[in-house]
Amino acid sequence: MLEDEILNVETIRSLLQTKSFGREPESILQVWDTIDSTNKHALQLAKDGASEGTCIISREQTAGRGRLGRSWVSPQDSGIYMSIILRPKLAMEDMPLITLATGVACARAIEFVCGASIGLKWVNDLILDRKKLGGILVEMQKPAVVVGIGINVQHDEAAVPEDLKEKMTWLRRGSDTKFSTNTLVVAIIAKLESYYQMLLDGHKSDVLNDWRSLSVNIGKEVSCQSGNQSLEGHVIDINEQGALLLRLNDGSVQSIYAGEVSVRNLDGSYS
Ligand code: BTN
């Protein structure tokens, strides 16, 4: 691996042109060789008063966290594992939009740096070639919010379990995939800063429209697990708070605020 492809603080610092995110003295930028979880560390820093825009990045996580209590497997130099502290001055009902804005920011950054076409699966999955490329875990340390981002960059195809090969993917899976992970991290921080600013400035419909244009769910038949409820229906849209609007088979429309969605394939199976 080329030296500048290894995530490192000097390269990231030299490339960052954000207003405040990741830039000292406004906020902290740390790149770890190994850490248990960047989210866990960022939550602690937030508790200790770290400022908005603080970015914690690691080459490896030994106890990476996923959504719904799952773990996020994070081998060294195989992915981007990063967490950013926000201190949002937003109405409580708009807080879920942070997850959507982060998804859009990551998708646009990946498109820009890697040229890959990314889709968003409600509420927080980054999709490439119909497979999961990454995910977002937002955790609260009131009044701060920690936005955790995990993106798969490279894996040894032969070492990936057979059942996962069809479900997950990584940016360097194809042939023409030359890019620097440092540059990608910088682009994600910059895009997140600007999409987050759009929310703060009250331009939430711009963020929502961008999310809609990247959605792999809208217009599709889906199966949705929300709490202990299992629903099937047609996704008509997302609402102003980012909830999924599902038309059920009886014609009623249900707003889903939390849960997990599977998209129906042509053969009737779900992915
Ligand atoms: C998901 O389950 O889809 C969300 C995965 C989020 C993983 C990232 S990796 C960086 C940050 N630190 C963690 O422990 N988790 C998030």
Average pLDDT of adjacent 10-residue blocks, the chain of 271 residues: 78 96 91 98 97 98 94 95 97 94 98 95 92 96 96 91 89 82 98 98 97 94 84 92 92 88 66 67
Taking the centre of ligand 1 as the mean of its atom positions, its distance from the CA of residue 82, in whole angstroms, is: 8
Which ligand 1 atom sits nearest the alpha carbon of residue 39? 12
Which strands form 79-86's sheet, in the order they lie side by side?
29-32, 55-58, 79-86, 144-152, 131-141, 125-128, 119-121
Which own/partner pairs from 134-140 qualify as long-range (CB within 8 Å, at least 24 positions apart)?
Answer: 134/79, 134/80, 134/106, 135/66, 135/67, 135/72, 136/99, 136/102, 136/103, 136/106, 137/39, 137/65, 137/66, 137/67, 137/72, 138/98, 138/99, 138/102, 139/39, 139/43
Taking the centre of ligand 1 as the mean of its atom positions, its distance from the CA of residue 197, in whole angstroms, is: 23
Which ligand 1 atom sits nearest the alpha carbon of residue 79? 9
Are the C-beta atoms of 208 and 195 separated by less than 8 Å?
Answer: no
Q: Give the C-alpha separation, 245 to 243, whole Å.
A: 6
Q: What is the pLDDT of residue 269?
A: 64
Q: What is the pLDDT of residue 145?
A: 97
Taking the centre of ligand 1 as the mean of its atom positions, its distance from the CA of residue 267, in whole angstroms, is: 31
Q: Give the C-alpha separation, 15 to 17, whole Å.
A: 6
Q: Give the C-alpha separation, 55 to 84, whole Å.
A: 5
The residue whose CA has the least distance to atom 15 of ligand 1 is 65
The residue whose CA has the least distance to atom 9 of ligand 1 is 150
Which ligand 1 atom sits nearest the alpha carbon of residue 134? 3
Which ligand 1 atom sits nearest the alpha carbon of residue 61? 14
Taking the centre of ligand 1 as the mean of its atom positions, its distance from the CA of residue 66, in whole angstroms, is: 5
Which ligand 1 atom sits nearest the alpha carbon of residue 67? 2
Q: Give the C-alpha separation, 210 to 30, whole Å.
A: 30
Q: What is the pLDDT of residue 265?
A: 59
The residue whose CA has the least distance to atom 10 of ligand 1 is 81
The residue whose CA has the least distance to atom 2 of ligand 1 is 66
Taking the centre of ligand 1 as the mean of its atom positions, its distance from the CA of residue 39, in whole angstroms, is: 7
> Which residues does ligand 1 sit against, CB inside 6 Å?
37-39, 61, 64-67, 70, 72, 81-83, 124, 135-137, 148-150
Taking the centre of ligand 1 as the mean of its atom positions, its distance from the CA of residue 255, in whole angstroms, is: 25
Q: What is the pLDDT of residue 1?
A: 57
Taking the centre of ligand 1 as the mean of its atom positions, its distance from the CA of residue 153, in whole angstroms, is: 14
Q: Is the dihedral of CA 37, 122, 169, 108 positive or negative?
A: negative
Taking the centre of ligand 1 as the mean of its atom positions, its distance from the CA of residue 135, in whole angstroms, is: 6
